[in-house]
Structures are given as structure tokens and as C-alpha cells.
Amino acid sequence: MRVALDATPLVLGSGGLRRYVEELSLGLARQFPDDTFTLISDQTFHLDAHGVPANLCCAAAVKSRADRKWWLAGAALATKRHNAQVFHGTNFEVPLLPVCPSVMTIHDLSPWKNQEWHPNGTRAGRRTPWLLRLQRARCIITPSEAVRHEVLAHFGLRPERVFAVPEAAASQFRKTAPGENGSCGAEPYLLFAGTLEPRKNIATLLSAWREVRKQVRVGLVLVGRTRADGPAIESEPGLHLLGEVPDDRLAGLYSECAGFIYPSFYEGFGLPVLEAMQCGAPVVISRDPALQEVAGNAALCADSVSEFADAIRALLTHQELAAALRQKGLERALQFSWERTARMTRAVYEEAIGRIA
């Protein structure tokens, strides 16, 4: 099989979209050495990985006139140039011109749920519904059953067109030895990792942490890039804003934190939750359906400031609870792998090739 994948998310320095394309493409190439996988984009991108298989190709961005209208013409022409049998739109988009069967990943419904999460609008919000109506994507992939059900209801698609394919934590996220990659100061700390944007509900986390800090000395570490519309966070004692950090440092932060707190209003999957669990961190999440689907019974759940504060206090004051959550998290993370994701994704490619649109 010859597959072209949209590599545009690899332009990003970090985040779940980049992680998805990177780990999926590597997983596909390693699991299916007789297939050819080509990453294409109209932008310059970099695959940040060691030991890239020979059957995974990174096509250089071609600055042609057609590429200026990438989704109208450029993507289709690049797909045809590489003789692909199927195109995978890894981020809400597929070519308007159907030169071969296409598969589209819809990560979540955030572009349509709340305008404050995307104040300037998004290309996906405008174009994706039309691409689906025109059946430019024969099959749809979602990262969770929760999002699959939302996609079916929101777009009115036939159930047999939409497949839930779970993601996984990357292998570099593992429990590290104390001090192996450095912690963040002498005092215990809570950790959040993810893009700092309105949807992540950072205000609730900050308020809950401040309530707990009145009684228990604990810091708060925020890791991730800040989006332009992200929250304004003032410096204060115990608060550490680290920005983007390399994976080995992040694995160390996960491993040594007193608790990983993920209060997001809405998620399609929630990769940082599995990353934290795979590193042995006890986890507290919001009651978002996708997060609960991913975490299973291996995390505490909360929504309000008081509930998050109570959950954090429980982690800090009940060692047996924290230890049990650490063990449950490790066991839960083992149920996910990028090898499984790759196998399930390729099965969707076969479905798209064999289906009459």
C-alpha cells in the first residue's frame, strides 16, 4: 500500500497534533515495512525522530503556484505525484480534488463547540463540514468513542464511515530515576502539561492550587507553549512557568510530580494524561467524557475549584491513595500503544480503498 499523510502538524514545535502525526507515521512504517508512507505538506517540516524507517519518506515542500492553493490543488497534485493509493488528512482536512480515496482525522469538535476556544475562527470550522457533505473523506477517524458519537450526531454521518482509533503515550515517556532529568525545586509540585489556551481551564487549576497552598506547601509547574489567546498568568511564589521543554525533561517532571492535574473543559483524547500515567504520576482529570474514557478508573475526577482542591489534598495527604493511583495509571497506560494505533489506522485505509464513496 502507498499512503500519503498530511505532515502540516509537524510544523508545530510541540503539542498533541505534532505527536499524533509523528508517532502514527513512525508506527505505520515500522509495523508495515512492505508499504510506503510519504509525509507531504506545502510548509517546511521536520520529523524529529531517530531511526526513521526507509519506507517513511518526507517530501520536501514544493513552492509551486498550485501549492499556494494547497487544499484546492496542491495536496491532490502531490498525492498523485507520489502515486498514493490513499490520502490521510491528519488534521480535519483532505484534498478537495479526489485523486484517490481519503481518510480524515477529526480530533474533536472544539472548532464548533465554543467560539471562545477559537476566537478568530478556524479553517477546519469552515471547510470540514463541506468536505464531509461532498464525501471527500470516505472514512473518518476519531481518537475516542466519545468524539465518534459527537461526530455522528453533529455531522449526520453514517456510523460505518466513522472509526474510533485510540492513541497512546510515546515510548520515551517512562518512569525515570529520582533526579535523572531534574525536578523543579525542593518542594513537592503539581504538574500541568499542554498548550496554555482557554479550553484547558487553567484558571480553575490556579485557584485550586492556591487554596491547597494555604494549608500544604506545594508548587505548581505549567509546561507547554502559550497560545496567543492563552491566559495571562502573573508570577507568584511557588508557580513555575517552564514553556516548552524537551521530552526527557518532561518525562522527569511527570515522574517526580506529586500529581498531574488536567482540568480541561473539553478534549478529544488527552495524550498528556497517558504520558503522565506511563511515567507513574497520580492523575486528576476533569469529567470530560473523552478524558474519562482514556483514564478509566485510574484517575480522580473533579470539575469545580473546590473539587479539584479536595482531590489535590487527597493526593498530598494520603500516600496509599497516591500509590494506588500511580500503579493503576501504569497498568492503564499499558493498554494503549502506537503499534495498535498503526494497525487500526491501516485497517481504515483498507476500508477506504475498498469502499465506493
- Does residue 322 share a domain with residue 266? yes
Amino acid at 249: R
Task: Return the CATH number at 256.
Answer: 3.40.50.2000
Distance CA 345, CA 142 (A): 10
- Boundaries of domain holding 18: 2-168+337-354
- Does residue 220 share a domain with residue 136? no
- Does residue 309 share a domain with residue 241? yes
- Does residue 222 share a domain with residue 80? no
Q: Measured between alpha carbons, how far is residue 115 from residues 163, 199, 295 in Å?
A: 27, 10, 27
Let me know if residue 66 belongs to a domain.
Answer: yes
Based on the structure, what is the number of domains in the chain? 2
| 125 or 159, higher pLDDT | 159
Let me know if residue 184 belongs to a domain.
Answer: no
- Does residue 283 share a domain with residue 314? yes
Look-up of cell digits 507520489: 82
**What distance lies between CA 335 and its chain's CA centroid?**
17
| 121 or 238, higher pLDDT | 238
Q: What is the pLDDT of residue 63?
A: 63
- Does residue 231 share a domain with residue 127? no
* pLDDT tens sequence across 204-245: 999 999 999 999 999 999 999 888 888 889 889 999 999 999
**What stretches of the chain show up as alpha helix (H) in DSSP?**
16-31, 75-81, 110-113, 123-133, 145-155, 202-213, 247-256, 271-278, 289-295, 305-317, 319-333, 338-354
pLDDT band at 64 (very low <50, low <70, confident <90, very high): low
Q: What is the pLDDT of residue 119?
A: 63
Let me know if residue 177 belongs to a domain.
Answer: no
- Does residue 344 share a domain with residue 275? no
Let me know if residue 212 belongs to a domain.
Answer: yes
- Does residue 301 share a domain with residue 161? no
Let me know if residue 145 belongs to a domain.
Answer: yes
pLDDT at 98 over 80: yes
Let me know if residue 41 belongs to a domain.
Answer: yes
Let me know if residue 180 belongs to a domain.
Answer: no
pTM of the predicted model as reported, rounded to 2 decimal places: 0.93
Q: What is the pLDDT of residue 124?
A: 72
| Span 76-103, average pLDDT | 94
- Does residue 299 share a domain with residue 216? yes
Average pLDDT along the chain:
92
Let me know if residue 62 belongs to a domain.
Answer: yes
Q: Which of 34-43, 154-163, 178-187 has the lowest mean pLDDT?
A: 178-187
